[in-house]
Amino acid sequence: MQSRVNESSRLVSALQVVIGGHVFAAGVATYFGNDTWYSKYLMPTLHRLIDPETAHRWAVRAAHYGLVKRPRLPEHPELKCSMWKINFNSPVGLAAGFDKNAEAVDGMLRLGFGFVEVGTVTPEPQPGNDKPRLFRLREDKAVINRYGFNSEGFKAVLDRLTTRNMEPFESGVVGVNIGKNKTSTDAIGDYVRGVETFSSLADYIVINISSPNTEGLRDLQHIEHLEKLISKVVNVRDKLPGKKPPLLVKISPDLTTKQKEDIASVILRKGRGIAGLVVCNTTVSRPDSLRSEHKSEQGGLSGQPLRDLATSTIKDMYRLTKGAVPIIGVGGISTGQDAYEKIRAGASLVQLYTSFIYEGPPVVKRVTNELAQLLRDDGFTNISQAVGIDAKK
Protein backbone atom coordinates (compact mmCIF):
# COMPACT_ATOMS: atom_id res chain seq x y z
CA MET A 1 0.00 0.00 0.00
CA GLN A 2 2.76 2.37 0.99
CA SER A 3 4.59 1.62 -2.26
CA ARG A 4 1.49 2.60 -4.25
CA VAL A 5 1.26 5.89 -2.35
CA ASN A 6 4.93 6.57 -3.02
CA GLU A 7 4.51 5.71 -6.69
CA SER A 8 1.48 8.00 -6.94
CA SER A 9 3.41 10.82 -5.25
CA ARG A 10 6.32 10.37 -7.63
CA LEU A 11 3.95 10.47 -10.60
CA VAL A 12 2.32 13.68 -9.37
CA SER A 13 5.74 15.22 -8.77
CA ALA A 14 6.89 14.19 -12.23
CA LEU A 15 3.78 15.71 -13.81
CA GLN A 16 4.30 18.93 -11.88
CA VAL A 17 7.90 19.11 -13.09
CA VAL A 18 6.90 18.42 -16.72
CA ILE A 19 4.00 20.88 -16.68
CA GLY A 20 6.05 23.47 -14.82
CA GLY A 21 8.88 23.01 -17.28
CA HIS A 22 6.57 23.52 -20.25
CA VAL A 23 4.99 26.61 -18.68
CA PHE A 24 8.45 28.01 -17.94
CA ALA A 25 9.65 27.29 -21.49
CA ALA A 26 6.50 28.89 -22.91
CA GLY A 27 7.02 31.96 -20.74
CA VAL A 28 10.63 32.27 -21.85
CA ALA A 29 9.70 31.89 -25.53
CA THR A 30 6.96 34.52 -25.15
CA TYR A 31 9.15 37.03 -23.32
CA PHE A 32 12.10 36.67 -25.65
CA GLY A 33 9.97 36.79 -28.81
CA ASN A 34 10.66 33.39 -30.40
CA ASP A 35 9.31 33.62 -33.97
CA THR A 36 8.22 29.98 -34.37
CA TRP A 37 6.63 29.88 -30.92
CA TYR A 38 4.52 32.92 -31.66
CA SER A 39 3.39 32.12 -35.21
CA LYS A 40 2.79 28.37 -34.85
CA TYR A 41 1.72 27.94 -31.24
CA LEU A 42 0.96 31.01 -29.13
CA MET A 43 -1.03 33.16 -31.57
CA PRO A 44 -3.18 30.28 -32.95
CA THR A 45 -3.93 29.15 -29.39
CA LEU A 46 -4.91 32.64 -28.28
CA HIS A 47 -7.12 32.99 -31.35
CA ARG A 48 -8.99 29.83 -30.42
CA LEU A 49 -9.49 30.94 -26.82
CA ILE A 50 -10.05 34.71 -27.00
CA ASP A 51 -12.38 36.78 -29.15
CA PRO A 52 -10.64 39.26 -31.49
CA GLU A 53 -11.53 42.50 -29.71
CA THR A 54 -10.56 41.20 -26.27
CA ALA A 55 -7.26 39.98 -27.72
CA HIS A 56 -6.70 43.42 -29.21
CA ARG A 57 -7.23 45.11 -25.84
CA TRP A 58 -4.88 42.65 -24.12
CA ALA A 59 -2.20 43.19 -26.77
CA VAL A 60 -2.31 46.94 -26.23
CA ARG A 61 -1.99 46.46 -22.47
CA ALA A 62 0.89 44.00 -22.91
CA ALA A 63 2.72 46.54 -25.06
CA HIS A 64 1.96 49.28 -22.54
CA TYR A 65 3.59 47.27 -19.75
CA GLY A 66 6.49 46.04 -21.88
CA LEU A 67 5.75 42.34 -21.36
CA VAL A 68 7.86 41.31 -24.37
CA LYS A 69 11.62 41.77 -24.31
CA ARG A 70 13.14 44.30 -26.68
CA PRO A 71 14.53 42.32 -29.65
CA ARG A 72 18.17 42.57 -30.64
CA LEU A 73 18.05 44.32 -33.98
CA PRO A 74 21.28 44.59 -35.96
CA GLU A 75 22.19 47.95 -37.43
CA HIS A 76 20.88 48.35 -40.96
CA PRO A 77 22.35 51.57 -42.37
CA GLU A 78 20.60 50.93 -45.69
CA LEU A 79 17.23 51.33 -43.94
CA LYS A 80 17.92 54.73 -42.39
CA CYS A 81 16.11 57.48 -44.25
CA SER A 82 14.88 61.03 -43.92
CA MET A 83 11.40 62.20 -44.85
CA TRP A 84 9.86 65.64 -44.21
CA LYS A 85 13.07 66.54 -42.32
CA ILE A 86 12.36 63.63 -39.95
CA ASN A 87 14.95 60.90 -39.45
CA PHE A 88 13.67 57.31 -39.51
CA ASN A 89 15.96 54.56 -38.17
CA SER A 90 13.71 52.04 -39.89
CA PRO A 91 11.09 52.45 -42.64
CA VAL A 92 8.90 49.74 -41.04
CA GLY A 93 6.14 51.29 -38.95
CA LEU A 94 2.96 50.34 -37.12
CA ALA A 95 -0.22 51.31 -38.95
CA ALA A 96 -3.05 53.21 -37.31
CA GLY A 97 -5.76 51.05 -35.76
CA PHE A 98 -3.72 49.13 -33.21
CA ASP A 99 -2.92 51.85 -30.68
CA LYS A 100 -6.05 53.91 -31.11
CA ASN A 101 -5.63 55.96 -27.93
CA ALA A 102 -1.82 56.33 -27.59
CA GLU A 103 -1.60 53.81 -24.76
CA ALA A 104 1.33 51.75 -26.08
CA VAL A 105 3.54 54.07 -28.14
CA ASP A 106 6.80 53.29 -26.37
CA GLY A 107 6.00 49.61 -26.06
CA MET A 108 5.57 49.31 -29.82
CA LEU A 109 8.68 51.36 -30.60
CA ARG A 110 10.54 49.04 -28.21
CA LEU A 111 9.57 46.07 -30.41
CA GLY A 112 11.55 47.50 -33.31
CA PHE A 113 9.07 49.65 -35.23
CA GLY A 114 10.74 52.71 -36.74
CA PHE A 115 7.57 54.73 -36.24
CA VAL A 116 4.13 54.35 -34.69
CA GLU A 117 0.92 55.94 -35.92
CA VAL A 118 -1.73 56.30 -33.21
CA GLY A 119 -5.44 56.65 -33.86
CA THR A 120 -7.72 57.08 -35.57
CA VAL A 121 -8.63 59.73 -32.98
CA THR A 122 -11.90 61.68 -33.07
CA PRO A 123 -12.57 65.10 -31.48
CA GLU A 124 -15.05 63.77 -28.91
CA PRO A 125 -15.10 60.32 -27.33
CA GLN A 126 -17.31 57.84 -29.15
CA PRO A 127 -17.93 54.10 -28.73
CA GLY A 128 -17.80 53.15 -32.38
CA ASN A 129 -20.09 50.62 -34.01
CA ASP A 130 -21.97 47.82 -32.25
CA LYS A 131 -20.18 44.58 -31.37
CA PRO A 132 -19.15 42.18 -32.74
CA ARG A 133 -17.14 44.37 -35.07
CA LEU A 134 -13.81 42.57 -35.51
CA PHE A 135 -13.42 39.24 -37.29
CA ARG A 136 -10.39 37.06 -37.94
CA LEU A 137 -10.30 35.30 -41.31
CA ARG A 138 -7.70 32.76 -40.19
CA GLU A 139 -7.64 30.72 -43.38
CA ASP A 140 -6.93 33.90 -45.34
CA LYS A 141 -4.52 35.57 -42.89
CA ALA A 142 -6.90 38.52 -42.96
CA VAL A 143 -9.15 40.62 -40.74
CA ILE A 144 -12.46 42.38 -41.31
CA ASN A 145 -13.19 45.27 -38.97
CA ARG A 146 -16.06 47.67 -38.65
CA TYR A 147 -14.89 49.43 -35.50
CA GLY A 148 -16.21 52.80 -36.68
CA PHE A 149 -13.56 55.05 -35.09
CA ASN A 150 -14.03 53.94 -31.47
CA SER A 151 -11.98 56.59 -29.71
CA GLU A 152 -11.40 58.16 -26.31
CA GLY A 153 -11.21 61.54 -28.03
CA PHE A 154 -8.64 64.24 -28.65
CA LYS A 155 -8.22 65.24 -25.00
CA ALA A 156 -7.36 61.76 -23.72
CA VAL A 157 -4.80 61.16 -26.47
CA LEU A 158 -3.34 64.65 -26.10
CA ASP A 159 -2.91 64.11 -22.36
CA ARG A 160 -1.08 60.81 -22.91
CA LEU A 161 1.24 62.24 -25.54
CA THR A 162 1.92 65.30 -23.38
CA THR A 163 2.75 63.10 -20.38
CA ARG A 164 4.99 60.95 -22.58
CA ASN A 165 6.96 64.03 -23.64
CA MET A 166 7.63 64.92 -19.99
CA GLU A 167 9.20 61.52 -19.22
CA PRO A 168 12.08 59.49 -20.69
CA PHE A 169 10.70 57.80 -23.80
CA GLU A 170 11.74 55.54 -26.66
CA SER A 171 13.34 57.15 -29.68
CA GLY A 172 11.19 56.89 -32.75
CA VAL A 173 8.69 58.81 -34.83
CA VAL A 174 5.08 59.21 -33.69
CA GLY A 175 2.29 60.16 -36.07
CA VAL A 176 -1.32 60.92 -35.18
CA ASN A 177 -4.17 59.77 -37.42
CA ILE A 178 -7.29 61.94 -37.06
CA GLY A 179 -10.90 61.45 -38.11
CA LYS A 180 -14.35 62.91 -37.70
CA ASN A 181 -17.05 62.04 -35.19
CA LYS A 182 -19.88 59.86 -36.46
CA THR A 183 -22.56 62.42 -35.62
CA SER A 184 -20.56 65.49 -36.62
CA THR A 185 -22.28 68.09 -38.78
CA ASP A 186 -18.96 69.74 -39.64
CA ALA A 187 -16.49 67.13 -40.86
CA ILE A 188 -13.92 69.67 -42.02
CA GLY A 189 -14.14 71.40 -38.64
CA ASP A 190 -13.30 68.10 -36.93
CA TYR A 191 -10.09 67.78 -38.94
CA VAL A 192 -9.19 71.41 -38.30
CA ARG A 193 -9.54 70.76 -34.56
CA GLY A 194 -7.30 67.73 -34.91
CA VAL A 195 -4.54 69.70 -36.59
CA GLU A 196 -4.82 72.44 -33.96
CA THR A 197 -4.74 69.88 -31.13
CA PHE A 198 -1.83 67.70 -32.19
CA SER A 199 0.51 69.91 -34.21
CA SER A 200 2.77 70.66 -31.24
CA LEU A 201 3.25 66.95 -30.38
CA ALA A 202 2.89 64.86 -33.54
CA ASP A 203 5.82 64.25 -35.85
CA TYR A 204 3.25 64.02 -38.65
CA ILE A 205 -0.55 64.09 -38.89
CA VAL A 206 -2.69 61.86 -41.11
CA ILE A 207 -6.05 63.07 -42.41
CA ASN A 208 -8.05 59.84 -42.54
CA ILE A 209 -10.85 60.19 -45.09
CA SER A 210 -10.95 56.60 -46.29
CA SER A 211 -12.29 54.30 -43.56
CA PRO A 212 -15.31 52.39 -44.90
CA ASN A 213 -16.86 52.17 -41.44
CA THR A 214 -18.04 55.77 -40.94
CA GLU A 215 -20.96 56.74 -43.12
CA GLY A 216 -20.12 59.46 -45.63
CA LEU A 217 -16.43 59.62 -44.73
CA ARG A 218 -15.14 58.40 -48.09
CA ASP A 219 -17.12 61.17 -49.83
CA LEU A 220 -14.40 63.52 -48.60
CA GLN A 221 -12.10 61.93 -51.19
CA HIS A 222 -14.20 63.51 -53.97
CA ILE A 223 -12.40 66.46 -55.50
CA GLU A 224 -14.87 69.19 -54.48
CA HIS A 225 -14.74 68.14 -50.81
CA LEU A 226 -11.03 67.36 -50.84
CA GLU A 227 -10.17 70.82 -52.15
CA LYS A 228 -11.97 72.50 -49.25
CA LEU A 229 -10.64 70.10 -46.63
CA ILE A 230 -7.01 70.45 -47.66
CA SER A 231 -7.25 74.21 -47.97
CA LYS A 232 -8.66 74.51 -44.43
CA VAL A 233 -6.28 72.16 -42.62
CA VAL A 234 -3.20 73.53 -44.36
CA ASN A 235 -4.16 77.15 -43.63
CA VAL A 236 -4.75 76.34 -39.96
CA ARG A 237 -1.49 74.42 -39.67
CA ASP A 238 0.50 77.22 -41.31
CA LYS A 239 -0.90 79.84 -38.92
CA LEU A 240 -0.07 77.90 -35.78
CA PRO A 241 2.93 79.12 -33.77
CA GLY A 242 5.94 76.87 -33.44
CA LYS A 243 6.04 73.36 -34.87
CA LYS A 244 4.29 72.73 -38.20
CA PRO A 245 4.13 68.96 -38.78
CA PRO A 246 3.71 67.50 -42.27
CA LEU A 247 0.13 66.65 -43.19
CA LEU A 248 -0.65 63.41 -45.02
CA VAL A 249 -3.89 62.10 -46.52
CA LYS A 250 -4.91 58.45 -46.16
CA ILE A 251 -6.79 57.11 -49.17
CA SER A 252 -8.84 54.06 -50.08
CA PRO A 253 -7.77 51.14 -52.28
CA ASP A 254 -11.26 51.16 -53.82
CA LEU A 255 -10.89 54.41 -55.79
CA THR A 256 -11.71 54.63 -59.48
CA THR A 257 -9.02 55.74 -61.93
CA LYS A 258 -10.71 59.16 -62.17
CA GLN A 259 -10.75 59.56 -58.38
CA LYS A 260 -7.04 58.71 -58.17
CA GLU A 261 -6.30 61.27 -60.87
CA ASP A 262 -8.36 63.91 -59.06
CA ILE A 263 -6.62 63.27 -55.74
CA ALA A 264 -3.20 63.45 -57.38
CA SER A 265 -4.06 66.74 -59.09
CA VAL A 266 -5.24 68.32 -55.84
CA ILE A 267 -2.18 67.12 -53.91
CA LEU A 268 0.22 68.37 -56.59
CA ARG A 269 -1.18 71.86 -56.90
CA LYS A 270 1.22 74.51 -55.71
CA GLY A 271 0.57 75.74 -52.22
CA ARG A 272 -1.68 72.87 -51.18
CA GLY A 273 0.76 71.88 -48.49
CA ILE A 274 0.03 68.15 -48.31
CA ALA A 275 3.34 66.42 -47.67
CA GLY A 276 2.44 62.81 -48.41
CA LEU A 277 -0.08 60.03 -48.88
CA VAL A 278 -0.85 56.93 -46.83
CA VAL A 279 -1.80 54.21 -49.32
CA CYS A 280 -4.02 52.54 -48.40
CA ASN A 281 -6.88 51.88 -45.98
CA THR A 282 -8.92 48.66 -45.80
CA THR A 283 -11.02 47.51 -48.76
CA VAL A 284 -14.73 46.79 -49.08
CA SER A 285 -14.00 44.43 -51.97
CA ARG A 286 -14.00 40.67 -51.35
CA PRO A 287 -11.63 38.58 -53.51
CA ASP A 288 -13.02 35.24 -54.72
CA SER A 289 -10.06 33.55 -52.99
CA LEU A 290 -11.46 34.19 -49.49
CA ARG A 291 -12.28 30.96 -47.63
CA SER A 292 -13.26 32.03 -44.12
CA GLU A 293 -16.83 31.77 -42.85
CA HIS A 294 -16.54 35.48 -41.97
CA LYS A 295 -15.76 36.61 -45.53
CA SER A 296 -19.21 38.21 -46.00
CA GLU A 297 -19.09 40.34 -42.86
CA GLN A 298 -19.46 44.06 -43.49
CA GLY A 299 -16.43 46.26 -42.91
CA GLY A 300 -12.93 46.82 -44.16
CA LEU A 301 -10.77 43.86 -45.19
CA SER A 302 -7.05 43.93 -44.37
CA GLY A 303 -4.19 41.44 -44.46
CA GLN A 304 -2.81 39.22 -47.21
CA PRO A 305 -5.85 39.48 -49.56
CA LEU A 306 -5.29 43.27 -49.69
CA ARG A 307 -1.58 43.00 -50.53
CA ASP A 308 -1.66 43.15 -54.34
CA LEU A 309 -4.45 45.75 -54.52
CA ALA A 310 -2.53 47.97 -52.11
CA THR A 311 0.71 47.60 -54.08
CA SER A 312 -1.10 48.42 -57.31
CA THR A 313 -2.66 51.54 -55.74
CA ILE A 314 0.76 52.67 -54.49
CA LYS A 315 2.19 52.31 -57.98
CA ASP A 316 -0.73 54.26 -59.49
CA MET A 317 -0.37 57.15 -57.03
CA TYR A 318 3.41 57.26 -57.42
CA ARG A 319 3.02 57.60 -61.19
CA LEU A 320 0.18 60.12 -60.97
CA THR A 321 2.16 62.31 -58.54
CA LYS A 322 5.34 61.83 -60.62
CA GLY A 323 7.18 60.56 -57.57
CA ALA A 324 6.98 64.02 -56.00
CA VAL A 325 4.79 63.05 -53.04
CA PRO A 326 6.21 60.59 -50.49
CA ILE A 327 4.00 57.57 -49.85
CA ILE A 328 3.58 55.37 -46.79
CA GLY A 329 2.63 51.95 -48.14
CA VAL A 330 0.17 49.81 -46.15
CA GLY A 331 -1.70 46.60 -46.82
CA GLY A 332 -0.85 42.93 -46.55
CA ILE A 333 2.76 43.17 -45.40
CA SER A 334 3.91 40.04 -43.57
CA THR A 335 7.38 39.48 -45.07
CA GLY A 336 10.36 41.53 -46.12
CA GLN A 337 9.45 40.71 -49.73
CA ASP A 338 5.98 42.23 -49.26
CA ALA A 339 7.55 45.40 -47.88
CA TYR A 340 10.16 45.48 -50.65
CA GLU A 341 7.48 45.22 -53.36
CA LYS A 342 5.75 48.26 -51.92
CA ILE A 343 9.02 50.19 -51.77
CA ARG A 344 9.74 49.33 -55.41
CA ALA A 345 6.15 50.34 -56.31
CA GLY A 346 6.69 53.82 -54.87
CA ALA A 347 6.45 53.74 -51.08
CA SER A 348 9.17 55.50 -49.11
CA LEU A 349 7.98 53.98 -45.82
CA VAL A 350 5.76 50.99 -45.00
CA GLN A 351 3.39 50.00 -42.20
CA LEU A 352 1.98 46.70 -41.00
CA TYR A 353 -0.73 45.67 -38.57
CA THR A 354 -2.69 42.52 -39.54
CA SER A 355 0.45 40.35 -39.72
CA PHE A 356 1.17 41.46 -36.15
CA ILE A 357 -2.17 39.88 -35.17
CA TYR A 358 -1.22 36.54 -36.68
CA GLU A 359 2.51 36.37 -36.00
CA GLY A 360 3.02 38.55 -32.92
CA PRO A 361 5.98 40.82 -32.08
CA PRO A 362 8.66 38.76 -33.90
CA VAL A 363 7.22 39.79 -37.27
CA VAL A 364 8.70 43.28 -36.82
CA LYS A 365 12.28 42.06 -36.56
CA ARG A 366 11.86 39.52 -39.34
CA VAL A 367 10.35 41.95 -41.85
CA THR A 368 13.03 44.52 -41.03
CA ASN A 369 15.91 42.07 -41.43
CA GLU A 370 14.50 40.54 -44.62
CA LEU A 371 13.95 43.96 -46.19
CA ALA A 372 17.52 45.02 -45.44
CA GLN A 373 18.87 41.79 -46.98
CA LEU A 374 16.78 42.22 -50.14
CA LEU A 375 18.14 45.74 -50.61
CA ARG A 376 21.69 44.49 -50.21
CA ASP A 377 21.09 41.58 -52.59
CA ASP A 378 19.98 44.02 -55.29
CA GLY A 379 23.00 46.26 -54.75
CA PHE A 380 21.23 49.17 -53.05
CA THR A 381 23.10 51.01 -50.31
CA ASN A 382 20.03 52.93 -49.17
CA ILE A 383 16.31 52.30 -49.34
CA SER A 384 15.74 55.61 -51.14
CA GLN A 385 17.44 54.15 -54.22
CA ALA A 386 14.75 51.47 -54.58
CA VAL A 387 11.70 53.72 -54.16
CA GLY A 388 9.47 53.59 -57.22
CA ILE A 389 11.89 51.59 -59.35
CA ASP A 390 9.11 49.30 -60.62
CA ALA A 391 6.73 52.20 -61.25
CA LYS A 392 9.27 53.78 -63.60
CA LYS A 393 9.28 50.81 -65.97
The domain segmentation of the chain, as residue ranges, is 75-385
The mean predicted confidence, pLDDT, of the chain is 89
Q: What is the pLDDT of residue 382?
A: 97
Q: How far is CA 137 from CA 236, 300, 342, in A?
A: 41, 12, 23
Question: What is the band of 17 on the pLDDT scale with cuts at 50, 70, 90?
Answer: very low
Report the alpha-carbon distance of residue 324 to residue 334 in Å, rounded.
27
Q: What is the pLDDT of residue 264?
A: 94
Q: How far is CA 98 from CA 78, 103, 201, 272, in A?
A: 27, 10, 19, 30
Question: What is the band of 66 on the pLDDT scale with cuts at 50, 70, 90?
Answer: confident
pLDDT digits (tens, 9 = 90+) for 230-243: 999 999 999 999 88
CB atoms within 10 A of CB 299: 21
Q: What is the pLDDT of residue 28?
A: 37
Question: What is the band of 70 on the pLDDT scale with cuts at 50, 70, 90?
Answer: confident
Report the alpha-carbon distance of residue 324 to residue 314 in Å, rounded.
13
Q: What is the pLDDT of residue 20?
A: 39
Question: What is the band of 42 on the pLDDT scale with cuts at 50, 70, 90?
Answer: confident
pLDDT digits (tens, 9 = 90+) for 113-167: 999 999 999 999 999 999 999 999 999 999 999 999 999 999 999 999 999 877 7
Question: What is the band of 309 on the pLDDT scale with cuts at 50, 70, 90?
Answer: very high
- pTM, two decimals, is 0.89
Find the catalytic residue in 39, 211, 292, 355: 211
Is 211 an annotated catalytic residue?
yes
Report the alpha-carbon distance of residue 114 to residue 371 in Å, rounded.
13
CATH architecture of 75-385: Alpha-Beta Barrel (3.20)
Report the alpha-carbon distance of residue 201 to residue 160 in Å, rounded.
11
Q: What is the pLDDT of residue 48?
A: 86
